[in-house]
Chain A
C-alpha cells in the first residue's frame, strides 16, 4: 500500500496550512548532468527541461558527463529521459525558453531566433534590422512571445511565434544593463499588454509599450525579480539577501524575509520561484526554502544542484535524482485527510472505509451527513483528482461512488469525467512518457493540448488512443503521424532502382490512406501531407497523396511548386474556381516561356478550354500583345480580326484606324468561311477613306470619320451635299428603301420641305407615301404632311387625315368613298362641336 497522502504533508502557519512535496519521479543519480554546470530552461505543465553548458563556469574534464566543446542543447523530460540533442552552429546563444505548445525558442546575440519542436525541426526568424547592428544583450521568453534587450539597451517585443515584426517598447533610458529583470506576460497583466520590470540602481522601472515608470523603491538593486503566477505580486531579492514581496502596482508591501536566517543556505540564492500565489521558493545549491506569506519557512534538502519551475498550482523541483512537485495541499484533499477533519467529505470517506471493513458504523454515519452528501461526493471526486497515486485515486472515487448510491438524483458527469481524466493523466505520467501533468494543469491547457504534445513526441499511438477515448478528432494526430511515416519510410534499398521506390510510394500512400479511412480522419488535408512528402524529395509519393485531396484550392499550389503544370491547370479547371485558374495561369505565364505556355493550353483541348478563355479575358484587358501572339500561334483568324477591330474602335488617329481595319480584313480573308466579313471590312476601310476625303472637302468643318453608312449619307444631305449622298448610295449599294427613309428623315430635319417635295416626285417612292405622312406628323409638321395623304393608299387616307388633324378632308375622303360608317365614327371622335357640325353636314350631303 502506498504511503498515506498525509505522509508528504508539512504544516505551516501553526498547522493551518499544509504544503506537500510529492515525488513525481526518481531516477539514478547521474542520469541528468550536474545542473550547476548548465543553463536550464524549464517548460511549464510538466514539460521538459532544456540544458546548455554554462560557458562561464569551469568544468573538470573527464567527469561522468560527456565533454563537448560546441554549443549543444540537450532536452530531458521531467523523468530524466533524454528527448533531444542538437548542436548550435550560429552565434552565441543569449537565451532560450519554451512556448505554450512546448517548442523551444533559442535566441542568439545577432537577433536570430529558432523555434525547435521536439523532433529537432525548426523555423527560423529574426528580430530584424536594429538588433542585427547592436546585437541582443538579453531576453525574456514567455509562452506567447519574447522581449529582447537590444545592445542599445532598448526593449523589443515579439508577439506570437509566426515571425511577426518586433515592436519597440517605451525606452527606459538605461545606461547599463539592468542588474536583473523580468516580464509579466500579457495574458496575466491587467492591461493585457506586456510589462517589463527592470531592476535599475535601487529601484524598479516598469516598462510597457507606452511608457517607462520609475517605481521609486529604495532597497535595490535586486538580484531576482519574479512576478507571481497570477501577475499580482512581485518577489524581489536584494544583494543582501532580503526577500521582498510587493504588489505589482507597487502600492502594497506584503512581506519581507531575510534569507540570511536560513541556516543551511550558502552564498547567493539561485532561483526565486513562486509556489502558488502566496508562497515563494528560494533555492540554493541542494536546498530549497519555501517562504510563506507570514514569513514562515519550510526547508527541503536535495542531493546536488536543483532547478525549480513555477507551475500554475505549485513549483516543480528537479534535482540529481528526483523530480518533485511542491504545492499547497489542495482544499479538497485537506478536508478529507487532515487529521481530525469532520467535513462531510471526510466523513463520507470514513464511512466508505468502515463499509469496506463491514463495520456497522457506516450506516449511522452516512445518515448524519445526509443533507451534505452531494457536496461530500463532489469533494471526494475532486480530491481524487489531486492524488498522484492511482491507489488513492481509486479509493476516493470508490468513496464517491458509494456516497452516490444514497442520492436520489445525482448527475454522474463529473464522476465519469474524473475517471476518464485520471486514466489519461496516469497514462502520461508514466515515466516513459514523462509528463507529470496535474489535474489543474490539464484542465487549464485542455485535452487537445495534451494530444498535440504527445504527437510532438511522436507518441502517435498513445495520442490516438487518448483522442478516441475522449472522443476528440484524430486529425491532428493522423496528420503528424503521416508526416512522420513519410520521413521514416525512406525508399527501401532491397528492391532495385526506380521500381522499388515506386513500390514503396504505393505502399506508404496506401497505408496512409487506409489509416485515415479506418480512423475517420476525413478532414485531414492530404495536401499538407503531400507537401511534406515533396519537401523531403518524394515527388512520386506526393503526387499519389495529392490525388486523395478533395479541395482543389489545396492541391493546386503544391502541384505548381512540383512543376506539375498541366495537372495543376486541369485540377484548377475542374474545380470551377476561376480565381484558382487565374492563379495557375499567372504563375505559368511567369515561369514558362511564352511558346511552352501557349502549347500547354492549346494541347489541353476541350478539357482546358475554360482556362484558355479566361486567359483571353485577362489578356484582352491587360496584355494585348500576348493575346495577339496567342491567336496567331493558334491560327485563330477570326479572333485576331475581332481583336484588330476592337483596337480600331479605340483609336482616334484616322490612318492607324484604317490600317487596323485593313488588318482585320486581311485576317478574315485568310479564313475560307469569312468571305462576307472580309467584304464588310473592305467596305468599312473604303468608307473610312471616303470620310477622310469628305472631311477634307468640307475643310474639317463637318465631321464624318467613324460614322455609319447611313449617318454619312444623312450628314451629306443635312449639309446639302446631295450628289455625294447619291454617290454613296451607289458605291455602297444602299437599298432604295433605306435611302429613301434616310433622305426623308434628313430633309425633314433641316426643314427642306421643298426639297422633300421634289424628292418625293423624283420617282415613284419605293416606301410609299405613308411614311412621309407619319414622319412629318411625328415631327409636328401637320401642314406639310397633308399633301402626301392624297398619294397614299385610299383606305388609309381617312385615318391619315385625322392624324394631320384635317377633319374636313377626312370627311371628304369618307364621302368620296361612300363610307358612312367611318364618317359616323369620325363625328364621334371630333375634337369640337364645330368640326362635328361640319362633318354632320358632309354626312347629310351624302344622303
Chain B
C-alpha cells in the first residue's frame, strides 16, 4: 500500500538523499587517492557497517586498496608500502596504530602510514601520537563521513555509542558532529526556516546550527541560493532523553521486531545462510549486496556459524510493504503476496502469443526477485514467530502494557522479580525496571533495592556501574520513590509527568484487538495500543489534529476505504502552538527559532498545495517503530513529508548494552538462537 502511496502524481520530488551517499563516496575516493599506489586498508570494525552502505569492495579495489584488515591489537604484516587506517578518533585505536608503527620500526620495516579520521581530524589523536613518539611517521588526514541514507526518508550518522556518549559520559562530540551534518544538509537544501526542539541537548544542537548561520551568510552575501529552504519547512529536534519510554518498550512492527529479536545493524541482519541463498538463486541476492566483509578472522568465524549478512534494502518492495506493519499482520500480508505471485506465475505459463510471451519475459526478472524476497521474509517471520510465543516474551509484554496503564504496579514489580529469578535476559529485566520507574515516578526504595540486589547477584556485581548510571541525574530512569533528598536535581528529573502526558497526548489507546486491524488506526499500532511520546511531540508541530483525535478514523467514517482524495492538506508549521503547556511539563528546554524573523525579508511564501518536508531529528537515536509511526503520520495528510535524521538506530537492548559497556555484537547474540 505504501508503494501506491508513493506513486501519487505529486510533481514535488522528495529530497534526494542519495546525494549524501554520493558525497560520502566521493569523499572516500578523494581521501584514498591522496595516497599514491597500492595500499592496505586497516578498518575500524565499527565503521565497516556504515561504509558498506556507502561503498563496496570493488570501488575500494579500484582505488588501490590491495588488502583490508580490521584495526585490532596485535601485529600487522603488510605487503604494500602504503597503509591507510580508517577509524574514528578513539584513544584505543590510536594506541593500536602507534603500536603497529613501533613494531615495524623495531623490525626496521618502512611504510607510509596515513590515518584517515572520521569525521574530522583531532588534536587529541595527534597529541597521543606525539606522546607515543610516532607523530612524525604518520600523515593524519580526515574522511568526512556524515549522514548516510538508510532509506529514502531516513538518514543516519550510524553512531553506535551516541546515547551513552551524551547521557552517560557527557562527551558532546556527537552533538557537534551532528550539528555539522545538519549544516551540510542546510547547504544542500537551504536554511531550515524554523527550528523547533525539545530537550536540553536538542537545544544545544539547535544553538550550534543557529550560530553557524551568520558566517555562512556573510561568505555568500551575493549568493541567493543559500537563503531559506523552499523544500524544507522546519527542523524538529528531539533528544532521546525527552522520551525514554519508547526505546524501553518492545517494538511490535515487523522491522522493529527483527531488531529486537535478531538485531539489525547498519540495515543488515544476520541470517542463516540456508535462508538467504539457496544455491540456484544465489545470483539475485548478490546484487542487493551482502556487505563488505574484509578478509579477517572475524568474517571467518561468521562463516563457521554459517550466518550471512542480509541487507534489508529499501529497494526490496516487499520489505518496504512489510517493515512498518504490526507483526500480527505480517503473516496475512505474506499470504496475499504469495497468492498474487502464484497467479502471476500461472498467468505467465498460459502465455501463448508472441506479444504475451514478450510481456512475460519482461516481467520474469521482477517475479523472480519478488519470489526470492518473499521466501526470505517468510523464512524470517518463521524465525520470529517462536520467539514471540515464549512465556517470557509474553510476560514482558504484559508487564509493559500494565505499567503503561499504571495497573497494579506492585504486582508488575513482583513479576519483574520473577523474571530475574527465572534468569531472563539482563537487558530485558533492566528495561522493565526502568519503565516501571518512569511510569510510576520512581520505585519504592526498599523494592528497588531488592530488585537491584537480585540483578547484581544474578548477572554479576559488575553491573553496579550500569545501575549507578541509570540513576545518575543525567539519565534518571531508575530512581527510588521518594527521590533521595541529597540531590535536588535528581528530584526534579524524577518528575516525569507520565500520567498527565498519557492523558493529554492520548498515548494509551484502549481498543479491542478487532479494530487494531490493517487500518492501523493510530500511530499507537506500532506498540499495539501505545503511541510513542516522541512522535506525538512531532505531531504537536506537524499534525496538531492527530494528537487530539485520530485523523484516519474520521476519514474512514466518510469513506470505508479512506480514499486519497479526502486527505486533508497539512497545516503550515506554526511551532508548538497549542501544546505549550504540555511541553512545559516535560523536563528539558523547549526551543522555537523562527529564521523567517531572523533573516529580515527572507520570507518565502509557499504556494498552497506544495509538498514540503519536515526534518525530524533524533539526537541519541530513534527506533524502527518511531520511523514507522512517522511514515504513518505523513500518510494521513497530503503536502508534508518527513525526513528522519538520526544519530543512529537504537532499541532498549542496544541502549542498555551500550551503557553497561558489555560489547554484545550481533554475532554473539545470534549464537544463542
- Chain A residues lying within 8 Å of B169, measured Cβ to Cβ, are 613, 616-617
**A621-B91, A673-B484 known; A582+B124 contact, CB < 8 A:** yes
- Chain A residues lying within 8 Å of B207, measured Cβ to Cβ, are 576
**A621-B92, A622-B128, A708-B460 known; A741+B423 contact, CB < 8 A:** yes
Q: How far is the CA of A707 from the CA of B92 in the complex (A)?
A: 27
Would you call A432 an interface residue if the criterion is a C-beta within 8 Å of the partner chain's C-beta atoms?
Answer: no
Would you call B214 an interface residue if the criterion is a C-beta within 8 Å of the partner chain's C-beta atoms?
Answer: yes
Report, as a range, how many residues of chain B touch the other chain.
35 or more
- Chain A residues lying within 8 Å of B578, measured Cβ to Cβ, are none
1/0 contact string of A322-339 vs chain B (CB within 8 Å): 000000000000000000
Contact present for B124 and A681 (CB under 8 Å): no
**A621-B92, A680-B453 known; A579+B421 contact, CB < 8 A:** no
Would you call B574 an interface residue if the criterion is a C-beta within 8 Å of the partner chain's C-beta atoms?
Answer: no
**A577-B176, A578-B176, A771-B422 known; A684+B452 contact, CB < 8 A:** no
Q: Interface with B: A133-141, A289-297, A729-737, which one?
A: A729-737
Contact present for A550 and B457 (CB under 8 Å): no
Q: How far is the CB of A216 from chain B (nearest CB, A)?
A: 37
Q: Interface with B: A306-314, A348-356, A405-413, A641-649, which one?
A: A641-649
Would you call B645 an interface residue if the criterion is a C-beta within 8 Å of the partner chain's C-beta atoms?
Answer: no
**Chief secondary structure at chain B's binding surface:** helix
Q: How far is the CA of A661 from the CA of B462 in the complex (A)?
A: 10
1/0 contact string of A516-543 vs chain B (CB within 8 Å): 0000001100000000000000000000
1/0 contact string of B201-226 vs chain A (CB within 8 Å): 00010011000001100110000000
The B-contacting residues of A in range 646-695, CB under 8 angstroms, are 646, 649, 661, 672-673, 676-677, 680-681, 683-684, 687
Q: How far is the CA of A738 from the CA of B173 in the complex (A)?
A: 43
Contact present for B219 and A523 (CB under 8 Å): yes
Contact present for A576 and B204 (CB under 8 Å): yes
**A523-B219, A613-B171 known; A734+B457 contact, CB < 8 A:** yes
Q: How far is the CA of A707 from the CA of B461 in the complex (A)?
A: 9
Would you call B486 an interface residue if the criterion is a C-beta within 8 Å of the partner chain's C-beta atoms?
Answer: yes
Would you call A510 an interface residue if the criterion is a C-beta within 8 Å of the partner chain's C-beta atoms?
Answer: no
- Chain B residues lying within 8 Å of A742, measured Cβ to Cβ, are 423
Would you call A32 an interface residue if the criterion is a C-beta within 8 Å of the partner chain's C-beta atoms?
Answer: no
Contact present for B176 and A710 (CB under 8 Å): no
Contact present for B422 and A741 (CB under 8 Å): yes
Would you call B459 an interface residue if the criterion is a C-beta within 8 Å of the partner chain's C-beta atoms?
Answer: yes
Q: How far is the CB of A402 from chain B (nearest CB, A)?
A: 35
Contact present for B423 and A578 (CB under 8 Å): no
Contact present for A622 and B173 (CB under 8 Å): no
Would you call B3 an interface residue if the criterion is a C-beta within 8 Å of the partner chain's C-beta atoms?
Answer: no
- Chain A residues lying within 8 Å of B127, measured Cβ to Cβ, are 582, 586
- Chain B residues lying within 8 Å of A550, measured Cβ to Cβ, are 214-215
Q: How far is the CA of A576 from the CA of B212 in the complex (A)?
A: 11
Chain A residue nearest in CB terms to B124: A582
Would you call A609 an interface residue if the criterion is a C-beta within 8 Å of the partner chain's C-beta atoms?
Answer: yes
- Chain B residues lying within 8 Å of A576, measured Cβ to Cβ, are 172, 175-176, 179, 204, 207-208
Q: How far is the CA of A672 from the CA of B461 in the complex (A)?
A: 21
Would you call B580 an interface residue if the criterion is a C-beta within 8 Å of the partner chain's C-beta atoms?
Answer: no
- Chain B residues lying within 8 Å of A745, measured Cβ to Cβ, are 423
Would you call A551 an interface residue if the criterion is a C-beta within 8 Å of the partner chain's C-beta atoms?
Answer: yes
The A-contacting residues of B in range 462-478, CB under 8 angstroms, are 462, 464-465, 468
Q: How far is the CA of A709 from the CA of B458 in the complex (A)?
A: 6
Q: How far is the CB of B212 from chain A (nearest CB, A)?
A: 10
Residue from the list A579, A614, A661, A737 in contact with B170, Cβ < 8 A = A614
Chain A residue nearest in CB terms to B176: A576
Chain A residue nearest in CB terms to B165: A617
Residue from the list B91, B218, B461 in contact with A618, Cβ < 8 A = B91
Q: How far is the CA of A578 from the CA of B178 in the complex (A)?
A: 12
Q: How far is the CB of B419 from chain A (nearest CB, A)?
A: 10
Would you call A144 an interface residue if the criterion is a C-beta within 8 Å of the partner chain's C-beta atoms?
Answer: no
Would you call B425 an interface residue if the criterion is a C-beta within 8 Å of the partner chain's C-beta atoms?
Answer: no
- Chain A residues lying within 8 Å of B218, measured Cβ to Cβ, are 522-523
Chain A residue nearest in CB terms to B472: A638
Would you call A774 an interface residue if the criterion is a C-beta within 8 Å of the partner chain's C-beta atoms?
Answer: yes
Q: How far is the CA of A649 from the CA of B465 in the complex (A)?
A: 11
- Chain B residues lying within 8 Å of A642, measured Cβ to Cβ, are 464-465, 468
**A523-B219, A642-B468 known; A582+B122 contact, CB < 8 A:** yes
Q: How far is the CA of A741 from the CA of B424 in the complex (A)?
A: 11
Would you call A767 an interface residue if the criterion is a C-beta within 8 Å of the partner chain's C-beta atoms?
Answer: yes
Would you call A583 an interface residue if the criterion is a C-beta within 8 Å of the partner chain's C-beta atoms?
Answer: yes
Q: How far is the CA of A579 from the CA of B122 in the complex (A)?
A: 6
The B-contacting residues of A in range 701-759, CB under 8 angstroms, are 707-711, 732, 734-735, 737-738, 740-742, 745
Would you call B359 an interface residue if the criterion is a C-beta within 8 Å of the partner chain's C-beta atoms?
Answer: no
Residue from the list A578, A676, A684 in contact with B173, Cβ < 8 A = A578
Q: How far is the CA of A708 from the CA of B449 in the complex (A)?
A: 18
- Chain A residues lying within 8 Å of B462, measured Cβ to Cβ, are 645, 649
Would you call A231 an interface residue if the criterion is a C-beta within 8 Å of the partner chain's C-beta atoms?
Answer: no
Q: How far is the CB of B176 from chain A (nearest CB, A)?
A: 5
Chain A residue nearest in CB terms to B222: A471
Q: How far is the CB of B296 from chain A (nearest CB, A)?
A: 24
- Chain A residues lying within 8 Å of B449, measured Cβ to Cβ, are 676
Q: How far is the CB of A743 from chain B (nearest CB, A)?
A: 12
Would you call A610 an interface residue if the criterion is a C-beta within 8 Å of the partner chain's C-beta atoms?
Answer: yes
1/0 contact string of A621-652 vs chain B (CB within 8 Å): 11000000000000000100010011001000
Q: How far is the CA of A567 from the CA of B158 in the complex (A)?
A: 34
Q: How far is the CA of A622 from the CA of B89 in the complex (A)?
A: 13
**A576-B204, A673-B484 known; A708+B123 contact, CB < 8 A:** no
- Chain A residues lying within 8 Å of B456, measured Cβ to Cβ, are 680, 683-684, 708
Contact present for A677 and B124 (CB under 8 Å): no
- Chain A residues lying within 8 Å of B92, measured Cβ to Cβ, are 621
Contact present for B171 and A614 (CB under 8 Å): yes
Contact present for B123 and A586 (CB under 8 Å): yes
Q: How far is the CB of B137 from chain A (nearest CB, A)?
A: 17
Would you call B420 an interface residue if the criterion is a C-beta within 8 Å of the partner chain's C-beta atoms?
Answer: yes
- Chain A residues lying within 8 Å of B454, measured Cβ to Cβ, are 735, 738
Would you call B120 an interface residue if the criterion is a C-beta within 8 Å of the partner chain's C-beta atoms?
Answer: yes
Chain A residue nearest in CB terms to B467: A677
**A610-B170, A676-B452, A687-B461 known; A586+B124 contact, CB < 8 A:** yes
Contact present for B461 and A684 (CB under 8 Å): yes
Q: How far is the CA of A578 from the CA of B88 in the complex (A)?
A: 14
Contact present for B421 and A618 (CB under 8 Å): no
1/0 contact string of B58-89 vs chain A (CB within 8 Å): 00000000000000000000000000000000
Contact present for B123 and A583 (CB under 8 Å): yes
Residue from the list A522, A610, A672, A683 in contact with B486, Cβ < 8 A = A672
Q: How far is the CA of A811 from the CA of B377 in the complex (A)?
A: 38
Q: How far is the CB of B122 from chain A (nearest CB, A)?
A: 5
Would you call B391 an interface residue if the criterion is a C-beta within 8 Å of the partner chain's C-beta atoms?
Answer: yes
- Chain B residues lying within 8 Å of A616, measured Cβ to Cβ, are 169-170
Contact present for A710 and B171 (CB under 8 Å): no
Contact present for B461 and A681 (CB under 8 Å): yes
Would you call B418 an interface residue if the criterion is a C-beta within 8 Å of the partner chain's C-beta atoms?
Answer: yes
Q: How far is the CA of A799 from the CA of B54 in the complex (A)?
A: 51
Q: How far is the CB of B205 from chain A (nearest CB, A)?
A: 9
- Chain A residues lying within 8 Å of B128, measured Cβ to Cβ, are 622
1/0 contact string of B376-404 vs chain A (CB within 8 Å): 00000000000000010000000000000
Q: How far is the CB of B659 from chain A (nearest CB, A)?
A: 12
Contact present for A622 and B423 (CB under 8 Å): no
Interface pairs (8), CB distance under 8 Å: A583-B123, A609-B170, A617-B169, A677-B468, A680-B452, A709-B457, A710-B458, A737-B417
Question: What 12 new A-B contacts, CB under 8 Å, besides A579-B173, A741-B423?
Answer: A579-B121, A579-B122, A586-B123, A586-B124, A614-B170, A617-B171, A618-B91, A673-B486, A677-B468, A680-B456, A680-B464, A738-B458
Q: Which 3 A-B pairs have the closest CB atoms?
A: A613-B170, A709-B457, A708-B460
- List the interface of chain A (C-beta within 8 A of B): 522-523, 550-551, 576-580, 582-583, 586, 609-610, 613-614, 616-618, 621-622, 638, 642, 645-646, 649, 661, 672-673, 676-677, 680-681, 683-684, 687, 707-711, 732, 734-735, 737-738, 740-742, 745, 767, 771, 774
